[in-house]
Chain A
Amino acid sequence: MSTVIRMIVTRIALGVGLLFIVSLVIFWATELLPGDLATQLLGQAATPETVAALRAQLGLNDPAPVRYWAWLTGALTGDFGVSLANNRPIAELIGARLGNTVFLALYAAAMSVPIALTLGILSALWRNSPFDRVANAGALSAISFPEFFVAYILVLWLAQTGIFPSMVRITPSTDFGDRVYMTFLPALTLTLVVTAHMMRMTRAAIINLMASPYIEMARLKGLSPLRIVLRHALPNALAPIINVIALNLAYLITGVVVVEVVFVYPGLGQLMVDAVSNRDIAVVQAVALIFAAAYVGLNLIADVLSTITNPRLMHRR
């Protein structure tokens, strides 16, 4: 047991180190600007006095390491500074939106993971059957479609007939049932986009294992194909499958950006897109840090889980 704990601790330490580097990259990106943020924001026509005033307000007179440290320690305590566009605290802007985005991503995950696993296992079981071919062609097209195409097709097909709303208006008072109903179309869009990839990987992982000798043995002793897949192949395919699921959940976290804009969903993605068009770098940095942290965190969890499910890695000699 102690090896597991040591392994998990090492991985978490590595993850924290990676996050630190990521935060450096996100912060350092603003230093790439010709001139500095103040001249860039105010443009060519600005007087030296206004530039100096803005520079003082943004704290740009401090050296970069000092500013980085202030920004990082602030971010860790939930204080991301103020928005450059409207001077409101960024934590306030992010607050409810973060919850909404997480809700959407979890909703899509709850739909896509079971569907993807079932379809993947079935198409591995019935390899090269018409079912497998149709599922594969469908998956390949779903990967190739832009997200907004999928979203608008769903709007045209399901929202037109009035079954589901094409815009999401969530207020803090919206109850859970209404939330699930109103968020159905954005969640379904995300589901369609990520299911394809997960399904293909599940299928590939299981088919890969089906060629190994112990599966042939199981087949020779007369087990049913379903039992072979579920009892013998699946446990060994868990590691790659967990990895793919985590990667896709990480993808969900960022994939929400386009979908949120299509459905006018009040989430972090929409906030980020607005901030990019206003060139509100403080908000963009804060949201990018949150997205990157989620991404790194999910990959870390996948790493730990896939090691735990693999006895050969657990008891390494």
Chain B
Amino acid sequence: MGVAITVILGLAGLFAIAAAGRFAARSTLRGAARRAVNDMPLTAAFGILVIVIYAVVALTAPVLAPFPEREIVGTQFEAWGAEHWLGTDRIGRDMLSRLIYGARNTVGIAFATTALAFVVGSILGIWAALTGGWLDQILSRFVDALMAIPALIFSLLLLTIFGTSVLSLILVIAAVDATRVFRLARAVAQGIVVMDYIEAAKLRGERSWFLIRREILPNAVAPLVAEFGLRFCFVFLAISSLSFLGLGIKPPTADWGSMVRENATLITFGDVTPLLPAGCIALLTVAVNFVVDWQLYRASGLKE
């Protein structure tokens, strides 16, 4: 019960800081930024605060962590105490340090994967919409066929073939998610390529790459950014799930998914320590979702 109360108090504290931050931003900012902050709901402020905290922890992990990531510094499964705040894991590594390094490894890998999926998926999607004809048909039907297989099952199939390493994990998940990004980017770009200014640019003799970069992308950025947030959540959850299944990021690298699996035996003894990395995953996904919700509302709700 004590843990539940601590968690609730911690979340309430974060909300309070977020509210204070929003108030400070409202009184200092001017112009467009001020307008954006003005209609920001408290949940979005909370989300931004959590994302900032994660980013700071990930960047300063070696400074924050009291012990090295991979070193065995105690006996196995030590309880929470003064030296090891959150105890130690299955082979005696410091839990808190591994949690901190996990922010760098898990979130970093998920971010890189999402970015890769986005670059590939959106460029191909926009290119297909711009070119049209047989190229569009081939790419779209190919993506349709790939999307008929459930994402997790397809990733498992590809991981069997390419083996389970961090690099193949990134490439496989990025490939699977790029199909979803392709769909959205193509749909968005199809609305843009019929515009007169694209026609004008084509008549000026601009090349495809210029059209994509300077004419279409700037106009497609708003829906793509919201999708990036959602995609990141899916990728993050997929990578954590695969790591949890022992098929993703492998020990000794500190990763939240595999940390849960490694120490899961403690749960049956009523110890919540193994749930902490899972909680870290959940908190970040909720935070990103809150921010995306606000962005989607801003994109659609302003017209109301």
Contact = CB atoms under 8 A, between A and B. Distances in A.
Contact of B159 (A155, A251, A258, A276): A276
A279 B162 CA distance: 9
A217 interface: no
A281 B161 contact: yes
A288 B157 contact: yes
Interface string A135-148: 00000110111111
Given A155-B267, A295-B148, A285 B157 contact: yes
Contacts of A29: 157-158, 161
B282 A145 contact: yes
Contact of B160 (A18, A258, A281): A281
Interface residues of B, number: 44
A272 B272 CA distance: 29
Nearest to A273: B245
A275 B160 contact: yes
B152 A254 contact: yes
Interface of A: 18, 21-22, 24-26, 29-30, 32-33, 140-141, 143-149, 152-153, 155-156, 159-160, 166, 250-251, 253-255, 257-258, 261-262, 272-273, 275-277, 279-281, 284-285, 287-288, 291-292, 295-296
22 contacts: A25-B146, A29-B161, A30-B161, A33-B161, A144-B286, A145-B282, A148-B260, A149-B278, A149-B279, A152-B275, A156-B270, A166-B268, A258-B245, A273-B246, A275-B160, A276-B247, A277-B247, A281-B161, A284-B160, A285-B157, A291-B150, A295-B149
The A interface is mostly helix, strand or loop, or mixed, namely helix
Given A33-B161, A152-B267, A272 B156 contact: yes
Nearest to B151: A254
B234 to A, nearest CB: 10
B240 interface: yes
Nearest to A291: B153
Nearest to A295: B150
Contacts of B164: 276-277
A188 B274 CA distance: 21
Which of A152, A273, A280 gathers most chain B CB within 10 Å? A152
A156 B161 contact: no
B150 A148 contact: no
A291 B268 CA distance: 31
Given A21-B145, A262-B264, 14 more contacts: A29-B161, A145-B282, A145-B285, A146-B278, A148-B278, A152-B274, A155-B267, A250-B150, A258-B245, A273-B156, A277-B246, A284-B160, A291-B153, A295-B149
- Which 3 pairs between the two chains have the least Cβ-Cβ distance? A149-B278, A144-B285, A254-B150
B270 A254 contact: no
A298 to B, nearest CB: 11
A78 B241 CA distance: 30
Contacts of A144: 233, 282, 285-286, 289
Which of A148, A160, A287 counts the most chain B CB atoms within 10 A? A148
B117 interface: no
A292 B145 CA distance: 11
A140 B151 CA distance: 21
Contacts of A146: 237, 240-241, 244, 257, 278, 281-282, 285
Contacts of A272: 153, 156
A163 to B, nearest CB: 14
A48 to B, nearest CB: 22
Interface string B262-276: 001001101010110
B156 A288 contact: yes
Contact of A25 (B145, B160, B260, B274): B145
A153 B281 CA distance: 14
Contact of A288 (B145, B149, B247): B149
A152 B160 contact: no
A140 B289 contact: yes
A2 to B, nearest CB: 29
Contacts of B146: 25
A48 B257 CA distance: 40
B163 interface: yes
Nearest to B159: A276
Contact of B148 (A149, A160, A276, A292): A292
